[in-house]
Chains A and B, each alone.
Chain A
């Protein structure tokens, strides 16, 4: 079989180069926008693990985002921990809470699991607002540090005080999480995730412990959401309970479904499109929600597999007309 010139791997490289080369030429506003896009893409990848691959829709991702961000904020501001210890501790806390919530919640299926994750998200939101002594209530927390400077091998230090290094910092984590997701999904564990999304009972009958596999998947997704939360807290310097509001969790679902759940390109495409379209149209925030809702609805009705699913179908149609049906895979 002839090697196609343009494979998936070669498509990622120009995308990465673009992501590295474009921002220095762009203005500060665009860079700050791109940082947010990176953070929300990480959230999308987090949901992608539990929903896209394992098939369990979680509306609680915003809660883990909030837990990560607040843990980071509290550890750095109130305990005066350094950046990296606080980073790992908060990510650990987010993962642990995912593990603990996952044990009871994943016993449930379908709408029940969705509702428990939503309920968890609402409870976290309420606690963040109401526990004023700890979280600062509706005012939130301020004064999170930016990442500590990294010494460069050729002397000098890389500091993260300005926007551009911060962008590369989040981009680094995004790429890290993408590589990790890719490796995970192509491993045996990832295959189990996918098997569960197809048919949980059948998977169990094959001797796979679906419960612990689902808990693993949920914990990994909580860890990723926690990383996104820490990055957000560090970038934004101020955190408030709104970011853990369950509506954020719904936004992430919208991004992922529009981009294409269960694909590697989906989270990126969906976040880019749904964050960029309202920005380009220069609409007021309330209409932003409406436009996102309309786009999501149109995709659900006409293209439930999302943008990347649409591409795949298109590619499949072209390739099928030329070669064997399996050439595209």
Chain B
């Protein structure tokens, strides 16, 4: 039964690939739900996170997990700065301008990364990152398993934070009804800043977690970003559960499509699915009216 084994291996690859998209897509959808910013630069923030981890581990010899925490904090701080100096001043402009601003941010980060990090690909080596775990006929690099477990932990933590804590409740309230949240005495500006920080922090986590599993280059964020964006649209913009589901499905689609049809066209399938979803279910799979009118 080679085909069944093959199929399961593709599913396994798809799950680990989907986890990458989950980390990016949940940040995207959180920021979109609260700030209405389709943060186009999320993929590039993820790239910065990966490089940050790379330099911490490879140049300063820092512990990998330490670097993970540090990168998350650094990216969250960067998110605070971005919010303070770019998206807060632009809070009253038309939505389209926010999109263009995120695009400008992408251009700035990409140019800076090409300049500072160089165009050559870098190899983020963690002691155990090349170790391959085999169980039965299946094989998965250890780093991929770390990505899956890490994603699980992060997503559960995020879910607990949003559903069980007071601050999390303010996040959800602001996403559902901005004016209503204001009337309840929620400081929407602080909540927005927090949402942006969580979004960029998730990008930082994603960068350090995934970095050792892939090659680092300044444009590495673009592909995952496009898929994560499709996942967010596919699941319904603003809905975290939708983003997770969408990212998971698109990860599987990409893995199966590249396994059975063609690796070069896998992105085409992902985008094709996004476009078809939008045509038949414009709010996405789990998108609800309440998130954004």
A297 at the interface (CB under 8 A from B): yes
How many Å from the CB of A299 to the closest CB on chain B? 9
A317 at the interface (CB under 8 A from B): no
- Contact A286/B275 with A57-B100, A107-B282, A301-B90 known, Cβ cut-off 8 Å: no
Q: Is the Cβ of A297 less than 8 Å from the Cβ of B233?
A: no
Q: Which partner residue on chain A sits nearest B218 by CB separation?
A: A286
A126 to B222, CA, bound (A): 14
A288 proximity list for chain B (CB < 8 A): 111
A77 at the interface (CB under 8 A from B): no
- Contact A119/B108 with A286-B114, A301-B90 known, Cβ cut-off 8 Å: no
A57 to B95, CA, bound (A): 11
Q: Which of B55-63, B133-141, B198-206, B263-271 contacts A (4 or more CB under 8 A)?
A: B263-271
- Contact A126/B104 with A104-B275, A115-B233, A119-B274 known, Cβ cut-off 8 Å: no
**0/1 string, A279-292, CB within 8 A of B gives 1:** 00000101111111
A62 to B119, CA, bound (A): 24
A123 proximity list for chain B (CB < 8 A): 267-268, 271-272
Q: Which of A37-88 contact B (CB under 8 A)?
A: 51, 55, 57
Q: Is the Cβ of A122 less than 8 Å from the Cβ of B267?
A: yes
B115 proximity list for chain A (CB < 8 A): 284, 286-287, 290
**0/1 string, A86-110, CB within 8 A of B gives 1:** 0000000000000000001101101
Q: Which of A146-154, A160-168, A218-226, A250-258 contacts B (4 or more CB under 8 A)?
A: A250-258
- Contact A114/B111 with A108-B282, A126-B265, A297-B105 known, Cβ cut-off 8 Å: no
Q: In the complex, which range does the number of interface residues on chain A fall in?
A: 35 or more
Q: Which of B179-231 contact A (CB under 8 A)?
A: 226, 229-230
Q: Is the Cβ of A108 less than 8 Å from the Cβ of B278?
A: yes
Q: Which of A121-174 contact B (CB under 8 A)?
A: 122-123, 126-127, 129-130
Q: Is the Cβ of B111 less than 8 Å from the Cβ of A301?
A: no
Q: Which of B90, B107, B110, B226 has the most CB of A within 10 A?
A: B107
A57 to B100, CA, bound (A): 9
B112's partner among A110, A120, A126, A290 (CB-CB below 8 A) is A290
Interface of B is mostly: helix
How many Å from the CB of B13 to the closest CB on chain A? 20
A112 proximity list for chain B (CB < 8 A): 233, 237, 278, 282
- Contact A296/B268 with A104-B279, A115-B233, A290-B112 known, Cβ cut-off 8 Å: no
Q: Is the Cβ of A300 less than 8 Å from the Cβ of B111?
A: no
A130 proximity list for chain B (CB < 8 A): 262, 264-265
Q: Which of A122, A286, A288 has the most CB of B within 10 A?
A: A286
Q: Is the Cβ of B107 less than 8 Å from the Cβ of A292?
A: yes
Q: In the complex, which range does the number of interface residues on chain B fall in?
A: 35 or more
Q: Is the Cβ of A254 less than 8 Å from the Cβ of B104?
A: yes
B20 at the interface (CB under 8 A from A): no
Q: Is the Cβ of A297 less than 8 Å from the Cβ of B268?
A: no
- Contact A293/B97 with A126-B267, A130-B264, A300-B90 known, Cβ cut-off 8 Å: no
B127 at the interface (CB under 8 A from A): no
A111 at the interface (CB under 8 A from B): yes
Q: Which partner residue on chain B sits nearest A105 by CB separation?
A: B275
Q: Is the Cβ of A297 less than 8 Å from the Cβ of B104?
A: yes
Question: Which B residues contact A (CB, under 8 angstroms)?
Answer: 32, 38, 86, 89-90, 93, 95-97, 99-101, 103-112, 114-115, 119, 226, 229-230, 233, 237, 262, 264-265, 267-268, 271-272, 274-275, 278-279, 282
19 further contact pairs, Cβ within 8 A, besides A254-B107, A290-B111 = A57-B100, A111-B38, A111-B237, A114-B96, A115-B230, A116-B274, A119-B226, A123-B267, A126-B267, A250-B106, A253-B100, A253-B103, A290-B108, A293-B104, A293-B106, A293-B107, A300-B97, A300-B100, A301-B101
